[in-house]
Structure 1
Amino acid sequence: MAVIHRTTVVPSKDELLTAWLPTRPWYRPAAGGPRLERAGGFRLDDPAGEVGIEFMVVTDTAGDGPVSYLVPLTYRGAPLEGAEGALVGTMEHGVLGRRWAYDGCHDPVLVAGLLALIEGRAQAQDQNTSDLPDPGIGRSFTGEGPLPAALSTVTDDRDATQLHDAPRGVTLRLNRVLRPGALVQDAAGEVTGWWRQPDGTRARGPFAVLRTGTGA
């Protein structure tokens, strides 16, 4: 079970993301940006209890119009070997000490947790409260399991990050730029969630889409 600590984190997650987001190919440049607001998200438990797993939604309110981004993050007590290019930054946690924050698409613990969520073997947890399931996160799986424990290739495009397992014909797409009500067709599985818009209303759309076999 992930334990949510009420403590200080320096620099804050918002500060790390403000510096990191503009370096991503899917970030929409905005004059004077980023100007971020937290808009939603959820957590997953690491069965080993070592890695923090969080899916953050942040909205950039700079520029001509707000853009919401899905940012999967992992928090580790030591560097992840071979993942230097996925490091978002380091933080000093008031309880846990130094933490290394990574783009979770490159962290096998997060990927395994997300695949388990899609298959129904894991449950989404509230972002801010320990041991509280999040009923607002939906999942479905119509394919044939079990899914692979890892996906070896990670690529970014203008809207998403795609993870692939070529031998199994599996593709997992994480929508980095979120669009309310986006339609998903021919998917073997998906994760959907909600986020707050700047006007206070809720939007909902697909966070992750799984395709297998010829549909990948």
Structure 2
Amino acid sequence: MALLHRAELRPSKLELLAGWLPGRQWFAGEAGAPVSRVAAYRFDDPAGEVGVETLLVRAGDGSVLQVPLTYRGAPLAGADEHLVGVIEHSVLGRRWAYDACGDPVYPPLLAAAVLADAGQAEEYFEVDGKREARPASMTLTGSRTGRPVPTGPVSADPGDGGVTVVRVGDVELAVVRRPVPADVPAAGGLAGTWPGQDVPVLLAYAR
């Protein structure tokens, strides 16, 4: 479960991405163009400390881009190269936003979604002491491979061909940065749809 806050963010997530995305080798779109949100999904950090959100966005009229992010209340040691930026959150204070592929919290959660169809976190707002469900903006479908979800050491590298590769234990996962409709590989994958995108796009897969 993801508990959200109705808060003011400075800069906003999309403003932060507008400055960060053009420097990525997988970027597609017009540098300097406004970034718009297409859809999003979240995973649950079992420890409840790190926000884990994947945004699907466009820069201007460019292709849909997949940007997994983590939000932390303090800098992540040794992860400066993965830092997207710092956000001032009106409820939680300063938050450090990272490319989730370089955050050790993310790969095991992605592996659970890809290999065991763990799904996305349910989202709630807390209003006047009561929780209100936030409808999901997209649908996720993972594979049920029967493989155990790994919990070993994690790592990441830039990959090639528009994917970023993350590893957890003996499993290698490709995060598709420019997701398009494609078949889910036999080894397991994560696909998604959203309003206006009825044909599933491949978001990540085991390889």
Q: Check whether TM > 0.5.
A: yes
Question: By how many angstroms is 1:133 displaced?
Answer: 8.1
2:111 & 2:183 partners in 1: Cα distance? 20
Distance (Å, rounded) in 1 between the aligned partners of 2:161 and 2:94 = 32
Deviation at 1:69, TM superposition (A): 0.3
> Equivalences for 1:109-188 in 2 at 5 Å?
109-120=105-116, 122-126=118-122, 134=136, 136-142=139-145, 144-164=147-167, 168=170, 170-179=171-180, 181-185=181-185, 187-188=186-187
C-alpha distance in 2 between matches for 1:173 and 1:111: 10
- Runs (5+) with no aligned partner, structure 2: 126-131
* Local SS of the residue matching 2:154: coil
Is structure 2 residue 85 aligned with structure 1 residue 93?
no
Deviation, structure 1 residue 101: 0.1
Tell me the equivalent position of 1:26: 26
Offset of 1:41 from its aligned partner? 1.6
Deviation at 1:132, TM superposition (A): 6.1
1:46 matched to which residue of 2?
45
**Residue identity matched to 2:47:** A
- Partner in structure 1 of residue 2 of structure 2: 2
The amino acid that maps onto 1:163 is: V
Instruction: Classify 1:137/1:114 alpha carbon distance in 2 versus 1 (closer, same or farther; 3 Å).
Output: same
CA distance in structure 2 between the partners assigned to 1:22 and 1:208 by the alignment: 22
**TM-score (norm. length: structure 1):** 0.82
The structure where strand makes up a greater share of residues is 2
Q: Structure 2 length as normaliser, TM-score?
A: 0.85
Provide, for residues 125-165 of structure 1, a one-character-per-residue CA deviation record: whole Å limited to 9, x for no partner: 25676766857111103253242444324223241111246
Aligned pairs, number:
199
Tell me, yes or no, if the aligned pair for 2:67 and 2:177 is still in contact at 8 Å: yes
The 8 Å contact of residues 65 and 177 in structure 2, kept in 1 or not, is answered as yes
Q: Is the 8 A contact 1:111 1:150 kept in 2?
A: no
Distance (whole Å) between structure 1 residues aligned to residue 184 and residue 51 of structure 2 = 29
Q: 1:28 corresponds to which letter in structure 2?
A: A
For residues 18 and 102 of structure 1, the distance between their equivalents in structure 2, rounded to whole angstroms, comes to: 15
Q: Is the CA contact 1:36–1:58 (under 8 Å) kept in the aligned structure 2?
A: yes
Residue 164 to residue 119, structure 1, CA distance change in 2 (3 Å): closer
After the TM superposition, which of the residue ranges 123-132 and 5-14 deviates more from structure 2? 123-132
Identify the residue that residue 76 of structure 1 maps to in structure 2.
72
Distance 1:14 1:91 in 2: 11
Runs of 5+ unmatched residues, structure 1 = 212-216
Counterpart in 1 of 2:101?
Answer: 105
